[in-house]
Amino acid sequence: MKLFFRIFLVAAFALAGAASASAQTKEFLEKFDMIKYQSSIPRSVYEGVEIIQYPADMLRAMGVNDISGNSRNVLNNLKVIYQIKIPLDNRNNGNNIYRGFTLLVSGSRKPKLYEQIMCNTGRTQEISIYKAIRKKNNQPDEFMILMRNNEKAIVCDIVGYIRLDDVLKMLSPDLKNYVKEDTLNISSK
């Protein structure tokens, strides 16, 4: 009975959180919802793409805790995490799906939605972190993380009252040592 109640509680929070949680940038949310719909169609080119949405209420209800030990609990400051896992093989349009998200952060896009704040590009993998620049007062920040290697790509959008350090800690504590801050910003805002 206790297990049933816990599962019911998690499902209720997920439904309530899904209705109330939204990405700060509507263009990201539209693309996320389109891919979510397309991946549910049997034998579509989006088959194999994993779509995940984690409202913070659901994570807290599941008992996920901040294990970093600091007094500022990142989980309490999160609103929602969107994640899209894209296999980059010949059976689907993985490269095109990933390219659709890179177009959202493109510097040539007008109006500019995101600003690149960190990147690491190597021979076998690339990681870029962007922050939404359309932000109203008292609204949460939005960070989009694009990760890619030869086999798969991950697009992650994190919304909450968080900082870049919090995002790096959530990704990997070691990532901070390998990712370089983009200090050359030649675009006009």
Nearest-5° Cα angle at 101, 15 to 98:
100
Asked whether 68 and 74 are in contact (CB, 8 A), the reply is yes
Identify the pLDDT of residue 172. 64
Identify the pLDDT of residue 147. 92
- Taking only Cα atoms into account, the Rg of the chain, rounded to an integer number of angstroms, comes to 17
Q: How many H-runs (helices) and E-runs (strands) does the chain carry?
A: 7, 7
61-85 in b/e form (b: 16+ CB < 10 A) is beeeebeeeeeeebbebbbbbbbbb
Identify the pLDDT of residue 134. 66
Identify the pLDDT of residue 88. 86
DSSP SS3 for 103: helix
**pLDDT(18) > 50:** no
E strand segments, the chain? 50-55, 78-87, 114-121, 125-132, 141-149, 152-160, 180-181
The share of the chain scoring above pLDDT 70, in percent, equals: 68
Q: Over the stretch 50-96, which tens digit does the pLDDT of each residue have?
A: 999 988 788 777 665 555 554 456 777 888 999 999 998 766 688 88
Lowest-confidence pick of 16-20, 43-47, 78-82, 175-179: 16-20
Nearest-5° Cα angle at 157, 59 to 118:
125
Torsion-angle region of 69 (φ positive above 0: left; ψ -120 to 50: alpha; else: beta): left
Asked whether 39 and 96 are in contact (CB, 8 A), the reply is no
pTM: 0.73
Tell me the pLDDT band of 11, cut-offs 50, 70 and 90.
very low
What is the residue-averaged pLDDT of the chain? 75
Q: Which residues contact 167 (CB under 8 A, 6 or more apart)?
A: 129, 143, 145, 158
Of 56-70, 122-136, 140-154, give the range with the top mean pLDDT.
140-154
DSSP SS3 for 122: coil
**pLDDT(141) > 70:** yes
